[in-house]
Each structure stands twice: as C-alpha cells, then as structure tokens.
Amino acid sequence: MRILEEVSRTLNEYLLVPNLTTADCTPAAVDLSAPLVRHRVGDPSAIRIAVPLTSAIMGAVSSPRLAIALAQCGGLSFIHQNQPIESQAAMVAAVKRHKAGFRFSDTNIKPSATLGELTTLLDAAERDFAVVTDDGSAHGTFLGLISTRDFHPQRHGTGDSVESRMRRAAGLVTAPPTVSLSEANTLIWDHRLDVLPVVAGDGRLESIVLRRDYELHKRFHNESIDAEKRFRVGAGVNTRDYSQRIPALVEAGADLLCLDSSDGYSVWQHDTLRYVRETYGDRVRVGAGNVVDGRAFRYLADAGADFVKVGIGGGSICITRDQKGIGRGQASALIDVVAERDAYAQRTGEYVPVCCDGGLLSDYHMAIAFALGADFVMLGRYFARFDESPSPLVRVGGQLFKEYWGEGSNRARNVSRYEHGDSQQLVFEEGVDGYVPYAGSLYDNVATTIAKLKATMISCGSTALRAFHDNAVLVPVSHQSYLQNTAEVRLRDRPSDPGQ
Ligand code: MZP
C-alpha cells in the first residue's frame, strides 16, 4: 500500500493571481490555438485547433450538428462510440460532407421563405448557408446570403422571413473574387458582417467568406479564397471492436480518434494503440485515457498515444467515485500528469498533449485547467445545454432543460442493448440520467466563453496558452473563501426582493 501525501484537489479549489498586464495584451492579440496530437518539441503539431474546446464522446452531446457548429467556432467534437460501427461512421461522414463555407451554395431560396422552410432546406441539402435570389432560382438577382448559424428558431420563432433576418445578419456588401483573406476580414469587421459574398464582375456569386471560418482558418492559412474546406471531426473508439471500427471511421474521414474509457491505464489500451501504429503508422492519430497520474500518462505515451485525457470521477454525471471509490480531484490529477508530460518531452523530445476531461462546470474552471497546463479541454455538460446537442428539450416546472445522461448510466446501456443488440448486462451504474438548464445557442455561448478566457489571460499578462501556463500564479482557496465566491452567499447579503 502507498498513500500519496497530497490531498486530492478539484479545479474549484484554486484562484488565479493577476500578473502585470502590458499594452500588447489585448483580446485581438490572444491566441487560443492548441496542439491536439503528439509532435517533436519545436515542430508544429499536425492537428491544431483554433479554440481549445472539444465535446465529450457522449450520445447526449456529440452529434453531427453539434460537431459542425463547434468546428465552425474553431473546436472539435468526438462522435460517440456507444452505437453500431455503421451509424457512427455515417455520423462522421455527415460532418465531412458538410461544406465549410468558401464556396457557392446551389441552395437558393426566395426572400419570402420562412426560417422554418429554410432550416428544412438546409438540413436536407447538408448546407451551412443559402443564397437568396429574388425569384428563388440560381439565375435570379442575387440578394444576399443567410447562414444557419445566424438564426435560432427557438429564440426568434420560425415565422420570421428570411429577408428580414438576412438584412440583419448578412448584410449586402460584396467583394471581388481576387480578395485575400485579410482583405475579406477587414470588410467583414468594418461592415459588421457574419457572411461576405464574393461576386464576379458579371454579378455571379463565386464564393463566400464566413466570419467564423475566417477566424478558424486565419492562423493556419494565408491563402486567397480558391479552396473547399471540410470540417474536422473526431470519433471515439473502444478496446473491443477496434479492428473493425477504426477502419470504418478512417474510411468515413475521421480526422482524429480517441479511446473512450473511464480508466485507460490498461493493457487493452496499449494493445489498441499498438494496432493503430502497426496498421497505419502516423496516418491515423489516436488519443487515449482517462488517467489521473504520471505513471499512467507515461504508459500510454510509450504505447504511442497521440494525446492523453485526464479525469476519473469528476464528470458532472459521474458516480464512479461513489460506486467504486476510484478517482482523483481534477486539479491534482492534472498537475501530476502535466509534470510528467513536460518531463517526457524533455526526455524523449516528443510532446504529447494533455486534455482535461470532465467536471469543468463553469468557464473559470476552464481557465484554471489551462493555467495548470491542460492543452485542451473536453466538455459534456457544457455542450449538452445548447440547441445543437442531440438530446431532447423539455419543459419542467415552467423552465426549459435539455436531457443529459452519462455513458455509464442505464439509459446509455439500454440504448446499446435494445437498439443495437448488445448483449452485455449492466451490473451497476456509473453515471446518472438527468437534466441540465437549457442555455441557447452554441455559437453565442462559445463566444462568451472565449471572451472570458481571453479576459482572464489578459489579467494574467499572457497572450498564448503555453505562456499562460508558464507564468500562472495560482493560490489554493480556503473553504471560507470558496463560500464567499458562491452566488448563494452573495445573494444572502442583498436586500430581499420587495416583490416576493
Ligand atoms: P462533464 O463535462 O459533464 O462534467 O463531464 C463529461 C465527461 O464525463 C465525459 O467526457 C466523460 O469522460 C465522463 N463521463 C461520461 N459518462 C460518464 C458516466 O456515465 C462519465 N459516468 O463519467
């Protein structure tokens, strides 16, 4: 037996102490891009994301719709693997088929169409945006564009006409086809546009640039508008049917895979990683986990993992600690694994990114995770609350909620057993089946989260994630100071609402 000396700490138990903010620390200067896969120290990672947020490998979270929305914002989703190989591969293929902008859409629509009609049309055509012409044909006079991300039926109602919404969202400014990405960006910002149509001399629409696509691509591409982009998407895999599932996902176009298990420190993960390396070399990238200490990180990194996921028992729907007594506070786990990641990089010259997964219940928890050294984070509850997640929206006691369940819950297991013929019985549950408050659109919420992360980094005098980690000064909070932070205590001190 060995008892670790330190107490197991959560992300809640730390606060950041500001560093000097210098004149170059502005929101525009903050770079949130992050490496996703193993690379030689000093070389760039072959897969990077512009925003360090990934969505959890869960049936209630990562659907094609959410994957597209998150990729548009610069993050990445992992399509869940608690389903037959064919349906998971079909979901991956659906994301890859979707056009990431930069291209003329043949989906034309009349200005009199309603938003409801537009949604149906765009969904059927797997398009992100529609061209609006006066007569609804490809030869009609071009009026502008409307993109799915510009409206949310739940918020705006489906009766709004495309024209009225388009005028608000897209504007009618056009650019010539020779425009470069940075010129397009200037136009987009100057005119406060979400979409910029690019029109040839004869009035034909050549392509469009979307503000979010520009933000997504600008760090990695310095190209003019020529090329058709596809969204990136990841997929979960397991240690049982990997020799069939992985080839199907690769064939469907998955950009990145991840072994999906609550405890990744196992010979099964080692064998699966070896299979990927021997079969595909470096052509297929795969992460592993979850782990909570440096030993397990080293084991998976040595076996060839492209990234390692940290977190056992901290997920908002997780009852593994109650049921099995296994886990570790997320902050303690992260500190241990990050130290080993850096030692491993020094020893081997290979940098293996670390993902902080689960228990990130507020935006500031993400900031703490990055300060402690996470390269990127994985979120379940956060994304489950949005329009784009696949789970049902329900009204309970006059309030809107989205359903959210753990992959170790009876609900997830029943889907597997009854819908997919899986014969394995669930002896005990490790996850719960519940509700999370509905929070609206992913686009709005991710934009707010990014703004908060940037503001925190600026207060800490950093404009890049690695510098933020290197320079961060953190302080553990006492129970009393934690209580002082909670809204409950602050509200108690306010005069009571006279209307109550
Ligand atoms: P959260 O963002 O909701 O706090 O946590 C999401 C993470 O919880 C997932 O990425 C996964 O690692 C973990 N998870 C998923 N299902 C269960 C379960 O049923 C679970 N216990 O712990």
Output the pTM of the full model: 0.82
Handedness of CA 177, 178, 182, 184 (dihedral sign): negative
The tens place of each residue's pLDDT in the chain, 500 residues long, gives 999 988 999 999 999 999 999 999 999 899 999 999 999 999 999 999 989 999 999 999 999 989 988 987 889 999 999 999 999 999 999 998 876 543 334 455 565 666 566 666 666 666 555 666 666 655 555 555 555 554 444 444 445 554 454 444 444 456 666 666 566 666 666 665 655 666 665 555 555 555 554 444 443 333 333 745 678 999 999 999 999 999 999 999 999 999 999 999 999 999 999 999 999 999 999 999 999 999 999 999 999 999 999 999 999 999 988 899 999 999 999 999 999 999 999 999 999 999 999 999 999 999 999 999 999 999 999 999 999 999 999 998 889 999 999 999 988 887 665 555 556 667 788 899 999 999 998 988 998 999 999 999 999 999 999 999 999 999 999 888 777 776 555 555 544 443 33
So what's the pLDDT on residue 72? 78
Determine if residue 312 is labeled as part of a ligand binding site. Answer: yes
Could you tell me the maximum CA-CA distance found in the chain, to the nearest angstrom?
78
Asked if 454 and 32 count as a contact pair (C-beta separation under 8 A), the reply is yes
From the candidates 73, 258, 318, 356, give the one annotated as an active-site residue. 318
Top mutation candidate among 11, 58, 328, 356 for ligand 1, by most atoms within 8 Å of CB:
58
Strand order in the sheet with 129-133: 108-109, 129-133, 142-147
Distance of alpha carbon 138 from alpha carbon 367, whole angstroms = 47
Predicted local distance difference test score (pLDDT) of residue 340 = 98
Amino acid found at 2: R
Whether 356 is a known active-site residue: answer no
Tell me if 10 sits within 8 A of 329, measured CB to CB.
yes
User: Catalytic: 258?
Assistant: no
Q: Is the CB of 193 under 6 A from ligand 1?
A: no
Tell me, in angstroms, the distance from the centre of ligand 1 to residue 408's CA: 9
Q: How far apart, in Å, are the Cα atoms of 191 and each of 45, 211, 373, 394, 400?
A: 35, 11, 38, 38, 35
Q: Where would I find the H helices in 55-135?
A: 64-72, 85-97, 115-125
- Report all structural domains of the chain as residue ranges with CATH numbers, in order of start: 11-98+231-489 (3.20.20.70), 108-210 (3.10.580.10)
315 Cα: distance to centroid of ligand 1 (angstroms): 4
